[in-house]
C-alpha cells in the first residue's frame, strides 16, 4: 500500500490539501478553547510609596541647582517611578590635617553636600521581595546609586529609607 496514491490521497483515505486544512481548523479550535478557558487576570499587588534620601558629597552649588523638585529620574533608557521631592544643601565637611598630626573636620568654602529626597511612587509590595526598588537596585541604606535626570547625573549614597 502506497502512502500517497495516484489521486493524491493519503493512505487512500483523504486528500493531502484537505488534511492540511483539517489540521489548521483543529489547531484554531484548540487555540480558541484554550483562550476561552484561560484564568482571569493575576492578582494585582498592592502598592506603596517610599521615600529615599541620597547624600551626594562635595559638589559645587551649580550641581545642586541642577536638581529640580518634581524631576523624574532616568534609568536604563527610560524614565522611572522615582521623583525628586526635596533638595537641601549644606557646606561639605572635609578632613584637614594639622601640623601636629591631628585631623579635624572643617567646612569647605565652596563645595556642598547635597541631600536629595526621592519618592518611589507606586512600588508593588511583593511578600517574597519586600524591598523598594531604586531603578533596578534595592533601596537600602549604604547603597551607592546614580541620580540621573535630564539635567544632572551624580552618584550618591542612600542614607535613609522610609514610607
CA 2 to chain centre: 62
How many C-beta atoms surround the C-beta of residue 19 within 10 A? 13
Q: Name the grid cell of 143.
A: 547603597
Q: What is the pLDDT of residue 46?
A: 78
Q: What is the pLDDT of residue 1?
A: 60
Radius of gyration of the chain (CA): 31
Produce one character per residue of 44-76: b if its CB has 16 or more CB atoms within 10 Å, e if not: eeeeeebbbbbebeebeeebbebbeeebbbbbe
71 secondary structure, DSSP code: P
Q: What is the pLDDT of residue 114?
A: 98
What's the pTM value of the predicted model, to 2 decimals? 0.70
Tens digits of pLDDT across the chain (163 residues): 677 777 777 777 788 788 889 899 999 999 999 888 887 777 777 788 899 999 999 999 999 999 999 999 999 889 999 999 999 999 999 999 999 999 999 999 999 999 999 999 876 767 777 788 888 888 999 999 999 999 999 999 999 999 8
Q: Which residues pair with 146 in a beta bridge?
A: 155
Q: Determine which helix (DSSP H) or strand (DSSP E) holds 34, and give its type and residue range.
A: helix 16-36
For each of the domains in the chain, give its residue range(s) and CATH number, in order of start. Answer: 1-38 (no CATH), 47-162 (2.40.30)
Amino acid at each position: 500500500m502506497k502512502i500517497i496514491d495516484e489521486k493524491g490521497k493519503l493512505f487512500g483515505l483523504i486528500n493531502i490539501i484537505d488534511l492540511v486544512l483539517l489540521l489548521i481548523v483543529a489547531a484554531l479550535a484548540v487555540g480558541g478553547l484554550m483562550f476561552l478557558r484561560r484564568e482571569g487576570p493575576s492578582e494585582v499587588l498592592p502598592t506603596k510609596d517610599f521615600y529615599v534620601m541620597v547624600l551626594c558629597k562635595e559638589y559645587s552649588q551649580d550641581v545642586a541647582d541642577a536638581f529640580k523638585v518634581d524631576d523624574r529620574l532616568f534609568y536604563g533608557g527610560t524614565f522611572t517611578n522615582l521623583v525628586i521631592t526635596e533638595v537641601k544643601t549644606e557646606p561639605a565637611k572635609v578632613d584637614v590635617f594639622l601640623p601636629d598630626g591631628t585631623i579635624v573636620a572643617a567646612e569647605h568654602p565652596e563645595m556642598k553636600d547635597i541631600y536629595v529626597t526621592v519618592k518611589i511612587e507606586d512600588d508593588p509590595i511583593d511578600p517574597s521581595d519586600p524591598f523598594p526598588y531604586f531603578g533596578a537596585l534595592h533601596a537600602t541604606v549604604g547603597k551607592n546609586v546614580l541620580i540621573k535626570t535630564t539635567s544632572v547625573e551624580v552618584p550618591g549614597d542612600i542614607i535613609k529609607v522610609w514610607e
